[in-house]
Structures are given as structure tokens and as C-alpha cells.
Structure 1
Amino acid sequence: MLDGAAAAAPDDPAVRDATGRWTYADLHAHSHALDAWLAEHGVRAGDRVLVQAETTRLLVALFHAVSRRGAAFVPLNPAMKPFHLSAVVANAAPALVIADAALAPALRALTTVPVHETPQVLAAAEARLGSRAADTVRPDPSAPAALIYTSGSTAAPKAVVTPHAQTVFVVGALVAALGYRRDDVVYCRFPMSWDYGLHKVLMSCAAGAEVVLAGTEGDLSLLRRLREAGATVVPIVPSLASMIVTLARREPDVRPPVRMFTNTGAALPQAVIDDLRAAFPGARVVRQFGQTECKRIAVMPPDEDTERPAAVGRPLPGTRVLICDPDGEALPAGEIGEIVVEGPHVMPGYWRAPEQTARVFRTDPRTGAPQLHTGDYGWLDDDGYLYFAGRRDEMFKRKGLRMSTVEIEAAAMDVPGVQAAAAVPPSPDRDLALCVVTDLAPTAVLRELRKRLEPAKIPATCVVLDELPLSLHGKHERRQLAALLDGAPA
């Protein structure tokens, strides 16, 4: 992708961060220089290069350099603490580690392989500009391009193996589905340690667009930075979308040239979608749905962004979505079941975790096709559009009725004055609860919810907080909320 972009438009801007900008020719040259540096340090095809650093131009060049080696890029969020870091380092077994200066000591305590600091790595690349490694390889399409560590149902993070073939398919399919253009400026606040951030970098490269890496900057000036950057495409999660709406209300005269917001990671409430459209007239708000285990499952066509407001999109071309009952049998349109995915974007499994892989990545006994059993629930309509009902840990029964946190949160966000909402499923010692950020009284929020939800779905408790705890990827930390509600230190 990078070689093609650099050959087609070497002087076009490729990547920008807080310290500067590289053209495609610059990025291309730095990737080759870093490839030569990695070769000098003994990195070979099949090795893992672990990187814990802020997302900058250097990180983008390193991804391409590691790919030129035929090695696997293992990006870790800088906020990952030693408790999880030790397990991840042991699982990845890297040949070489690169880290920001402040993070390097913790990594040196966990591994015997060399740990290089990013300032020195960047200096080494600058000193080698114009040089190339003698043994650059063309990677095997089935070999891992990256290992993406995710949290979830296990105590330690697990790594989704992300091969070159699946990555290339997904990037091409998403660029086409979303209509990325060469003149786009993609403003990305998400780290490359999250596949959402990594793929935005790669999609921008495939389209010949510019990506602006803005993950470590403050929030209050966000709207002005979007305008200064000339941002045309803004990937969002609900917390970021709510922040943008709040800032747009405070600064109605500051209008970045955004033509499209794209959402994934967590369901975007309809109220927030409506607010974005009101604040940015003419901008598309595109709903998407996916998992790291296959990157993306469905995308709402941008020109249909106002149609079927409850749908999260249509399956990517060349892929198939099934809704299955507990026995794995496909259900008809309109019935809720587990979302099961087939296609060339389904990853091969988790790194060095055969038992977890066997539970999630299976084979259709009738066709032999690889299948991803997502653990998410939803349904398809008669036209093949997918609707998301909730994740396995977000679905529950109360008073005999099956429901999800998603629908309760969406109703709460529809209440004027509610800035954020998180529903906490019932436990043996506590009924369904709702945590909100608002100036309203809890009783007022519950009164408004009774106008929007069936009686069984009305939370027993509403708690007003100053802010909701979020994960590194902007999702609700329901365990922290549950601990708070149960009286434990949160």
C-alpha cells in the first residue's frame, strides 16, 4: 500500500502528528530506513516487534518497516500497566522491543531482549535515510501483519492474529464502502494499539489520503484543531461524539469541514447522531459494526445514513452474516440470535491460545467455511441489514423479558439534559441500575424513561455521576460502575 501511494503521489501529505508532517515520499523513506535498522538488530521474518509508545509518525513508519521484515507488529497501549504487561510480553515473546522513554524501564524489567527508546529509534532512522535493507522480503499473505491485544472475557489480554491477507481485504473493502478520497483528511484520536486506529492509518494510505494522529492532545480545543487540520473524516466512539457535540454548542461559529463521521467500538445513541447532524449540517454519520476478530462486519452505506436508523449496516462485500440459535442453526429474518460471520476478513484465531480460539473461531460442519462466533446478538431484516441487540455481557432477562443495556442507554440519551448514560445489568444482590451524567434529578430521569420504555425495562435505581469511567477505547467500564453500585471501592 505504501509503495503504491508513494509512487503515485510522493509529494502528497501522508501523516501528521503534533510535531510535524510527512509526505508519502517521507514516510516511504523512513519505513525503508527503519527496515534497515531492524535488520541490523537481528529482526527476521516471523519475529514479533513489540512497541509501547504514543501513536506518532514514527509508529506509522515502524508498522511498514516491520512488515518489510516479514515480522509481526505488536502495538501496546501506553496506558497498559505492568499487571497486564507482564502477561502480554510473555505471550508475544518479542525479538525486539521499542518504547517511549518513560515506559522503557518497566519493559526492561519484564524481558531480556533489547528495549530501544523511541527518540533513539527515530534518530537512527533519520541517520539511515536513503538506505535499504539487503534482505527485505515480501511477506507471506497468511503470516501475521500484527498481533492486536484486546481485553474481554479473560483475565489477561489476548492477541487477535491479524494476517496480511485479511488486513488487505478489510482495508480495501472499507475504503470502497465508506468512499475515502485522496483529498480527505482523516482525524484520528485512537491509538494504533486498537485496530480502529491502526486501520484508519492503513485506510488513509490505501486511499492516498492524509491521516492526522491526535491521540494525546487536550479536549477543550478539539473543535478548533479539527478546523485547523481541515478534517473531513472523523472516526468516533460515543464519548468522543458527545464531546464534539458539547463543544459545537459552546462554539457555534467554529465549523470544521467534516463531511463524514464514522462510528464503531460501541453503539452510538440516536440522540447523539441527531445532535451531530444538527451541529454539522450535511455531514454523514455512518454507523458500523465489527470486532477485532474480523475487523468489520457491517457498514451502513454513507448515502443511506438517515435510513433505517436502528440498523448498523450491511455486510461487507464478499462476506456473510448469519443469525444463529444456541444450536448453531440459522434463524429467519427478524429473529434475534448470535451474530455469526463468514468471509475473507475472519481472522485465524488468538495467538498461542488454542482453547479460546476453538470457542470463537469454528468451522461450519456443512460447508467447511471458517466462522466467527461473535458472542454478540442481533437480527437481520428482509433486505439483509443488520441490527445489533447487545453483546453477550450486555444481554439479560428481567421480569421475564429479554433486554440489553444498549436500548436502555439509548432511551436515557434521548432525555434532554442527559450527557452520558450507562446501564448496569442486575446481579444477585442488586437490581438493574442506570448511571448518568446530567444536571437533572434521578427521579426526573426515571420519569422521562417511563415515557420511552416498557415498565420492565425501567431501572430500579438511577445514580448521577460527574463522569462515567471509560476503557482505553472509550467504552463503558461496567465492572467499575457495578463495584460503585455495590459499595466496593471503584
Structure 2
Amino acid sequence: MTTQRPWLAQYPAGVPHQIDVDEFASIPAVLEQSIRQFGDRPAFTSMGKALTYAQVDELSRQFAAYLLGELKLKKGDRVAIMMPNCLQYPIATFGILRAGLTVVNVNPMYTARELRHQMVDSGASVILVLDNFARTVQEVLADTALRHVVTTGLGDMLGFPKGAIVNFVLRNVKKMVPDYDIPSAVRFRDALALGSKHELPDVSITHEDIAFLQYTGGTTGVAKGAMLTHRNLVANMQQASAWIGTNVKLGQEVIVTALPLYHIFALTANGLVFMKYGAKNILITNPRDMPGFVKELKREPFTAITGVNTLFNGLLNTPGFDEIDFSKLHLTLGGGMAVQRAVAERWKKATGVTLVEAYGLTETSPAACINPMDLADYNGAIGLPVPSTDVCVKDEDGNQLPVGEVGELCVKGPQVMKGYWNRPEETAAAIDADGWLHTGDMAKMDEKGFFYIVDRKKDMILVSGFNVYPNEIEDVVAMMPGVLEVAAVGVPDDKSGEAVKLVIVRKDPALTVEQVKAHARENLTGYKQPKFVEFRDELPKTNVGKILRRALRDEAA
């Protein structure tokens, strides 16, 4: 069946139907263009210290030369990075890629068990780790192929005296750096100094080379490494920049990067797409410190911000948020989880800018659908397929479904991963014979080609044979002024098979179970109403703030 593309008629003016994947041979080719165009402009700032594009060029070259000249790594070797957003991050990432090596992004909050799995699975031979997390690395070293450890302090790239003060406070005052003992470890600054003694050879990098092993699916059991090639990421950069390019000003954008760069959303959207435009990336090291985050946002007017629903919700509920200067802000992009209407409407009211929802997956590098940037108001859709991308909805037998029917969302395009690292069976289960990636999300398409996520396939609740989608319940309950955060999950029930349970973090301590149930009765049909309501101080979340429904389901079961 040929795919109809009703969405093309809805494309904003100036957005092409196709992108040129061959304009750049690799991610370093895009970086090098930005260095030529924007050399003296700030590229990344952290804690008030800025690095220009020219400095990123020089420092990432030094790191690349260290990896090849000192450590004698060979093309395709894997190098792991285990740190939050800080200046070392882009230096290392671009250095690894320029050396023709593969980046393995690691969540720094990982336990030894999780880190061990990822290092053994990826076969990484080098890891760069922030001092705060080095003890975890020490615990797994003996069980992995890691031969080299590079360590760094959060203040190491901030200059004197600031850097020394930051490192001293973290270690001695806040006690945030557990003792570790890795005798062979090299300091990041020493690695750069050693790299500066070597010439960086001309490394041939092609579209098919793997740029990132991006681990995903931790919530569905064992984390798998999605093989994202230079072609995948260059394609997604081209797709996203074609989409937003009509209202982005070259060399003038300032983007807030609060989601961690080790997560695919911030990595591509902020780290790569905005680099192409010569933007300044404001790196937020600890977005969970909301008062500190708001203080950082007051430092200078910014033009763009990306985030997940919980991040925007957190900002809106932090004192001082209303004192931020939003006069230059023109782009707010939400992804990673469903954006709730209540949050989107409050964001628009507070900032004057629409919170535009996008949809993507680690496996699609990540952008697959984005709403038009000129969207007047939140519309509940994940948007239209980006250029050079086909999206459809399929039933259990793999047949494409017509407009309005709910089935599994499937994606095809140059941004779809090569497959899962060393897992041919799982790759075959995810990407069918016709090249469609099966996302595991339940969705529908309207007649204009806008797609709507109904829910995760595995999060769906089955009440007496009726499908209940947690997103819908959460949206309704989140509208209550007394609710800060809410998660809906299915729990076993003798009568109906499953029943709806709500877990709520209150904004108003006086909120009662009966008030919540009354609100649900007014807004939801019988089988969708919560049978159980529980109040808690916090909800379990992933490193980027996605609510872990699975953890709540497991507890209930």
C-alpha cells in the first residue's frame, strides 16, 4: 500500500518536503562549517563561563588527538561519557566523533549494575567520568573491557579561581564526591595537554559509520544500544533545522539546555541542530534545583528552550519564574513524554509563547513528528511528520489503518537507526521487512495528517475489555488546581480485570480523594474513572523527568 501524505499540505511556508541528506558527510562536517561561520561566537556556556566555537574546535581536536595519538584507539572503537551538562561534554563528544570513534552516552546516575551492563554490552574501552560518579566506575572496572579512565571535576573548565572554588565546595562542603581509587586514571586537562602534542590525522568518516550507541528501553527490561549512524543524525539535523529554520536567526540564538545531553532529545535538538545555526547553548548542570535553574534563566534573555512536561511544570511552579525576561523567546519545544494541556496553557499564559509538542524516539535520532512552529495554541497533537519521513498507523497484522483509527505508530525515514547493537532478533522485531520502525506507541491520524498519541502500547489499561489510555486520565486530573503531578496506572481487579489507580503529588495539601473522584466523574465516562487514589510526596521518574508508570504498576501488582 502506498502511503498517502496528507500532512504535506499542512507544512508551514518555506518548509521543504524533502531534505538533502548528502549535504554533509558526517557530524564533524557540520561542526566544521559552524566553526568557520561563527568562530568567535560563544557556543556553550556553563556556570557563567563561555567557550567560543573556535575554542570548541581547538579543545575537541586535542581530545581527538589524545584518543588516537596517545591511546592508539582505532576507528569504530567505543568511548563512554558519564557526566551531566558541563563544558567537558561537548568537547569530548565532538572530539570522539572527529576521531572517527563512537560515543556511548551513560546516565551518570546509573548504579554499578546498570553501568556494568552498558559497558559490557558496548565493549567500550575508554570512559570519561565526572569525579562525583567515579566510584561507580571503580566498582565495575574489573568486569569490563575498559582500559582507560579519564576523570574530571565539574569546575575543571571554568578557569581560575572559579573552577577551583567549585571543585573545593563540591568535594569538601557539599560532600558530593565520594572517594575513589583508580590509580591509572588520567585527568581531562592532562589528556587535552597530551593531545595538543599530536597532530590530528585526517580521519575518513562516512554516513554509515556509527556515531552514537544510544542506550534505550531501560523501562522495558534490559537497555539496548541503538546504533545511530552519522547519516541518521545528519538527516535528523537537516529535518529539524528545515522545520524551525524559517524563524531562526543565524548566529543570534540562545538556547537553554536543561535536559541532559546524554539524552537523545537534547543531544540532537540543542547540541547539534542549534550548533548548525551558531547558537549559544546555556548548559544547565542540575535542572532539578529549580530555584537555581530560575536564577540562571534570569541571567540573560534566551530565544529557545526545550524540555519535557515535568520540567515546564516545575518551572511554572517555582517562585521567581514570573520575573524572567521572555521578550526574546520565540521557540519552546516539548518532547520526551506527552505534554499536558494544563501545562501548555499555563506556559503560553506565562511566556506568551506556544509550547509546541514534538515526538521522537531514541531509534529515530529522535525527531519523527513536530507541530508547526507558527501554531497559535496547544492542539494535543504530536504534529506532522518531518521532511523525508513517512508515518502510518498499523493494526496487529501489519495493515495500514485509515484516518481516525487507533493502531501502532510506525515510522520510516533516513533518521531511523541502523538497528540494535549485537541484537539482530530485537532489530528484526522493531524494524519490519518494509523498513517501518514499530514504535510501541498507540496513535491515530486525522484527515489533515496530524498524528495523536493515544498512549504507550504497554501502558494501556484494560477495564472490562475497554481500552483506557493513562494520558487522557492524567490530562483531565492535571487540570485540577490542587494537583502538581499525576500518574495513572492499571492495577489488578477481580471484577474488571484491571482498574484505574491515580498517584498524585498535591499542590494543595487540602485536596481530598473525594474531590479528585468527583472531578473525574464530571469529565470521564464510567470505566475510565479511578477506583483508587493515592497521594505521595513525589513520583518515580527517569533521569530526564519522565514519570515511570511501570514502577508504580509493579508496586501495585
Q: TM-score category by the smaller chain?
A: over 0.9
SS in structure 1 at match of 2:363: coil
Give the partner amino acid of 1:190: L
Counterpart of 1:376 in structure 2 is 441
5 Å-filtered alignment, 1:40-439, equals 40-102=70-132, 103=134, 104-111=137-144, 112-118=146-152, 120-124=186-190, 126-127=192-193, 133-152=199-218, 154-179=220-245, 180-181=248-249, 182-199=251-268, 200-216=270-286, 218-247=289-318, 251-257=321-327, 258-281=329-352, 283-294=353-364, 295-306=366-377, 309-364=379-434, 370-427=435-492, 431-438=499-506, 439=508
Counterpart of 1:367 in structure 2 is none
106-115 or 89-98, larger mean C-alpha shift:
106-115
Asked if residue 37 in structure 1 is aligned to residue 103 in structure 2, the reply is no
Give the partner amino acid of 1:333: V
Contact 1:340 1:374 in 2 (8 A): yes
138-147 or 222-231, larger mean C-alpha shift:
222-231
**TM-aligned CA deviation for residue 474 of structure 1:** 0.9
Q: What per-residue deviation string (whole Å, max 9, x for no partner) do you get for residues 259-310 of structure 1?
A: 22211111011010000011112x1311001111111110001102416x12
Supply the distance in 2 between the matched residues of 1:484 and 1:251 (Cα, whole angstroms). 35
Supply the distance in 1 between the matched residues of 2:73 and 2:103 (Cα, whole angstroms). 12
Cα RMSD (Å) of the superposition? 1.9
Counterpart of 2:534 in structure 1 is 463
**TM-aligned CA deviation for residue 254 of structure 1:** 3.3
Return closer, same or farther for 1:110/1:2 CA change in 2, 3 Å cut-off.
same
Supply the distance in 1 between the matched residues of 2:217 and 2:350 (Cα, whole angstroms). 34
Give the partner amino acid of 2:473: I
Contact 2:461 2:500 in 1 (8 A): no
Contact 1:286 1:305 in 2 (8 A): no
21-30 or 349-358, larger mean C-alpha shift:
349-358
5+ residue gaps, structure 2, are 1-29, 154-185
Q: Identity of counterpart residues, as a percentage?
A: 27
Counterpart of 1:27 in structure 2 is 56
Supply the distance in 2 between the matched residues of 1:460 and 1:262 (Cα, whole angstroms). 34
Supply the distance in 2 between the matched residues of 1:426 and 1:13 (Cα, whole angstroms). 51
**TM-aligned CA deviation for residue 483 of structure 1:** 4.5
**TM-aligned CA deviation for residue 400 of structure 1:** 3.0
**TM-aligned CA deviation for residue 450 of structure 1:** 1.3
Supply the distance in 1 between the matched residues of 2:221 and 2:448 (Cα, whole angstroms). 39
5+ residue gaps, structure 1, are 365-369
Supply the distance in 2 between the matched residues of 1:205 and 1:106 (Cα, whole angstroms). 36
Matched positions, count? 478
**TM-aligned CA deviation for residue 121 of structure 1:** 4.4
Q: What per-residue deviation string (whole Å, max 9, x for no partner) do you get for residues 422-456 of structure 1?
A: 00113356621001112211110110111111111
Give the partner amino acid of 2:282: V
SS in structure 2 at match of 1:425: strand
SS in structure 2 at match of 1:277: helix
Give the partner amino acid of 1:273: A
Supply the distance in 2 between the matched residues of 1:243 and 1:464 (Cα, whole angstroms). 18
Contact 1:224 1:256 in 2 (8 A): no
SS in structure 2 at match of 1:359: helix
**TM-aligned CA deviation for residue 228 of structure 1:** 0.7
SS in structure 2 at match of 1:241: helix
237-246 or 177-186, larger mean C-alpha shift:
177-186
Give the partner amino acid of 1:184: E
Q: What per-residue deviation string (whole Å, max 9, x for no partner) do you get for residues 372-413 of structure 1?
A: 011111111111111111011122321332121110000111
Return closer, same or farther for 1:293/1:326 CA change in 2, 3 Å cut-off.
same
**TM-aligned CA deviation for residue 169 of structure 1:** 0.8
Contact 2:384 2:450 in 1 (8 A): yes
Return closer, same or farther for 1:420/1:296 CA change in 2, 3 Å cut-off.
same
178-187 or 340-349, larger mean C-alpha shift:
178-187
Contact 1:236 1:262 in 2 (8 A): yes
78-87 or 212-221, larger mean C-alpha shift:
212-221
SS in structure 1 at match of 2:318: helix
**TM-aligned CA deviation for residue 246 of structure 1:** 0.9
Return closer, same or farther for 1:351/1:229 CA change in 2, 3 Å cut-off.
farther
**TM-aligned CA deviation for residue 48 of structure 1:** 0.5
> What TM-score comes out, normalization by structure 2 length?
0.82
Supply the distance in 2 between the matched residues of 1:60 and 1:142 (Cα, whole angstroms). 22
Contact 1:277 1:284 in 2 (8 A): yes
Give the partner amino acid of 2:126: L
Contact 2:344 2:354 in 1 (8 A): no
Give the partner amino acid of 1:175: S
Structure possessing the higher relative contact order (Cα contacts under 8 Å, 6 or more residues apart): 2
Supply the distance in 2 between the matched residues of 1:158 and 1:483 (Cα, whole angstroms). 21
Contact 2:491 2:556 in 1 (8 A): no
**TM-aligned CA deviation for residue 107 of structure 1:** 4.2
Return closer, same or farther for 1:279/1:456 CA change in 2, 3 Å cut-off.
same
Supply the distance in 2 between the matched residues of 1:458 and 1:135 (Cα, whole angstroms). 63
Give the partner amino acid of 1:37: Y
SS in structure 1 at match of 2:383: strand
Contact 1:419 1:436 in 2 (8 A): yes
Supply the distance in 1 between the matched residues of 2:394 and 2:543 (Cα, whole angstroms). 31
Supply the distance in 1 between the matched residues of 2:405 and 2:550 (Cα, whole angstroms). 30
Return closer, same or farther for 1:56/1:254 CA change in 2, 3 Å cut-off.
closer
**TM-aligned CA deviation for residue 359 of structure 1:** 0.6
Return closer, same or farther for 1:177/1:122 CA change in 2, 3 Å cut-off.
same
Supply the distance in 2 between the matched residues of 1:380 and 1:193 (Cα, whole angstroms). 31
Return closer, same or farther for 1:124/1:19 CA change in 2, 3 Å cut-off.
farther
Contact 1:108 1:115 in 2 (8 A): no
